[in-house]
Structure 1
Amino acid sequence: MIEPFLLAVRALGKSVPGPRELFRALDLDVRAGELVAIIGESGVGKSTLLNILAGLDDADTGSVAIDGIVLGELDETARTRVRRERIGFVFQAFHILPYLTLRQNVALPLALISPDQAAASARAEAMLDAVGLGGRGDGYARDLSGGELQRVAIARALVHRPALILADEPTGNLDPETAARVLALFADAVRGNGAAGVMVTHSDASAAIADRVLTLGRDGLVERRGV
């Protein structure tokens, strides 16, 4: 059967040492062009869920499929290829490489999948400009504030037009004006490129741009009304 959703999560369960159950029987469907925000109290497993969706962590039970590809059925090499080609991830801790220029950091996803380095560099420059860092591609992470590093991380996550875009508190270090600009870019990337977007956030303003807002708890995800 052909899966109608770009992201399809079925009966996902995860516990952490303690032991402590984070969530169980979690289902999530996200269509192409749809942006979903996930909210919840600290410690409920929001970041862990994103890591599972990205294939960076394994669930105890259930499955994750991206465009019909079930991550749990892949070996590590194939899973890495899916991450490189189909997933963009905005990490809360940025993970900007200090020994690369900002342009090289943003171009990295393209450099890993395409031999056309000139095109990758040009695309990276365009993304830096889109997040308000145009003309700073030759700089390094040490020259940037936390908010600017966040924008570089977002540019890198979007540069290769991934099928699935994941974001862990994408505007947590940004002032309101920059946050609004970045959220608009994020939403446009999801909807304009027909990607599936999943964003974890504590911010009602950030969640308000989503097509759906879901609350994560031990029994899975519940749709939130009236955001």
Structure 2
Amino acid sequence: MRAIETCGLAKTVGIDRELFTGLSLTVTPGELVAITGESGVGKSTLLNMLAGLDDADAGEIRIEGVALGPLNDETRTKLRRERIGFVFQAFHILPYLTLEQNVALPLALISPDSAAAKAQAGVVLAEVGLGDRGRDYARDLSGGELQRVAIARALVHRPAVILADEPTGNLDPETAGRVLDLLARAVKSRGAAAVIVTHSAATAAVADRVLMLTARGLTPIDG
């Protein structure tokens, strides 16, 4: 099963500015793919398309065999909540919630079982090295700790796909390296398919494959 599969994607913004065309990509469970490219080429737009937040002008996107194009907004939202985890550069952690509460948020959108959500949040926090910090408030954490919470939140509902947008852009190099190693290990252990978009060669180096995005689609980078 290919967790992510795209064929012939094209995207134009504005009146006639073509970002890319003929873009095809497959990512299998347990694989981490990094996508690099110049600013403005459409890396974040592609990530939004994979999440069903933006539509392609041509081509097809499938998540675990489900084509996104024909889905209505409600069905896309359900698929996104259940099958996709997100890690952002700006963390998007709520400062006045505890770590447990932040991590449990994706589960709260899927199931009303708050006790199970809390328990699962504790398990995943332990996996990212914050198992004894569940009742701490996010406002008291360092940047590296916040990103570990963000990774835990992305993993807590066992998604098939993880999408990360410049996940270490706000971290110093040493902290970024630790966070990237953690993310890569989590992808492997959970069997998720992950796509990271990044400007950073160090970030891309943890990936199984590195692809360059241009107007003509994706090109493998040897390394």
Could you say whether these structures have the same fold, taking a TM-score greater than 0.5 normalized by the shorter chain as the test?
A: yes
What is residue 77 of structure 1 aligned with on the other side? Answer: 74
Task: Select between 60-69 and 89-98 the one with higher mean Cα deviation.
Answer: 89-98
The answer on whether the counterparts of 2:96 and 2:139 sit within 8 Å (CA) in structure 1 is no
1:121-167 CA-to-partner distances (Å, cap 9, x unmatched) read 12212333333434332333332343332222121111111101111
The 1-side partners of 2:114 and 2:87 are apart by 23
2:87 to 72, 87, 90: 90
1:8 aligned counterpart, secondary structure: strand
The 1-side partners of 2:21 and 2:182 are apart by 33
* Identity percentage of aligned residues: 70
Task: Select between 17-26 and 153-162 the one with higher mean Cα deviation.
Answer: 17-26
What is residue 211 of structure 1 aligned with on the other side? Answer: 208
State whether structure 2 residue 57 is matched by structure 1 residue 60.
yes
1:157-184 CA-to-partner distances (Å, cap 9, x unmatched) read 1111110111111122233443333222
The 1-side partners of 2:38 and 2:79 are apart by 30
Instruction: Give, as a single letter, the amino acid of the residue that structure 1 aligns with 2:92.
Output: H
What is residue 127 of structure 2 aligned with on the other side? Answer: 130
Considering only aligned residues, what root-mean-square deviation do their CA atoms show, in Å? 1.8
In the superposition, the TM-score normalised over structure 2's length comes to 0.91
1:151 to 148, 152, 177: 148
Instruction: Give, as a single letter, the amino acid of the residue that structure 2 aligns with 1:104.
Output: Q
In the superposition, the TM-score normalised over structure 1's length comes to 0.90
What is residue 181 of structure 2 aligned with on the other side? Answer: 184
What is residue 222 of structure 1 aligned with on the other side? Answer: 219
What is residue 2 of structure 2 aligned with on the other side? Answer: 5
Q: Once the 2 structures are TM-superposed, how far is the Cα of residue 91 of structure 1 from its aligned partner? A: 1.9
Q: How many residues align?
A: 223
Instruction: Give, as a single letter, the amino acid of the residue that structure 1 aligns with 2:37.
Output: G
Matches within 5 A, 1:16-35: 16-17=13-14, 19-35=16-32
Question: Which runs of 5 or more residues in structure 2 are unaligned?
Answer: none
The 2-side partners of 1:58 and 1:127 are apart by 32
The answer on whether the counterparts of 2:36 and 2:43 sit within 8 Å (CA) in structure 1 is yes
Q: Once the 2 structures are TM-superposed, how far is the Cα of residue 18 of structure 1 from its aligned partner? A: 5.1
Instruction: Give, as a single letter, the amino acid of the residue that structure 2 aligns with 1:211.
Output: D
The answer on whether the counterparts of 1:154 and 1:170 sit within 8 Å (CA) in structure 2 is no
The 2-side partners of 1:176 and 1:137 are apart by 26
Question: Which runs of 5 or more residues in structure 1 are unaligned?
Answer: none
Task: Select between 155-164 and 175-184 the one with higher mean Cα deviation.
Answer: 175-184
Instruction: Give, as a single letter, the amino acid of the residue that structure 2 aligns with 1:140.
Output: Y
Task: Select between 50-59 and 182-191 the one with higher mean Cα deviation.
Answer: 182-191
The 2-side partners of 1:173 and 1:128 are apart by 21
